[in-house]
């Protein structure tokens, strides 16, 4: 029994090439959609996908280690 499922692109609603399983946990995962060619940051837990909206400036170099 295969309990994995394809991740649906939150932008266009098409299937991506990524799959998650029931116990898959993703955090800050750059989901790439081959259909609309966009990358979306997502989180996934218990087959539930959450889109992360982050400010662009967040990728700037860190000030502390």
| Binding footprint of Zn ion on the chain (CB under 5 A) | 9, 11-12, 33, 35-36
Q: How many CB atoms lie within 10 A of CB 9?
A: 21
The number of residues in the chain equals: 65
Rounded to 5°, the CA angle 46-39-41 comes to: 40
SS3 39: strand
Taking the complex as a whole, how short is the minimal distance between the CB of residue 6 and Zn ion, in angstroms? 12
Q: How far is the CB of 8 from Zn ion (least distance, A)?
A: 9
Would you say 33 or 42 has its CB closer to Zn ion?
Answer: 33
Closest separation between CB of residue 15 and Zn ion, Å? 9
Closest to Zn ion by CB, 26 vs 64, is 26
């Amino acid at each position: 029994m295969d309990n994995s499922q394809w991740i649906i692109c939150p932008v266009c609603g098409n299937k991506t090439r990524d799959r998650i399983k029931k116990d898959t946990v993703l955090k800050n995962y750059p989901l790439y959609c081959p259909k609309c060619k966009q990358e979306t940051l997502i989180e996934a837990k218990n087959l539930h996908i959450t889109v992360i909206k982050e400010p662009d400036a967040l990728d700037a170099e860190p000030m502390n280690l």
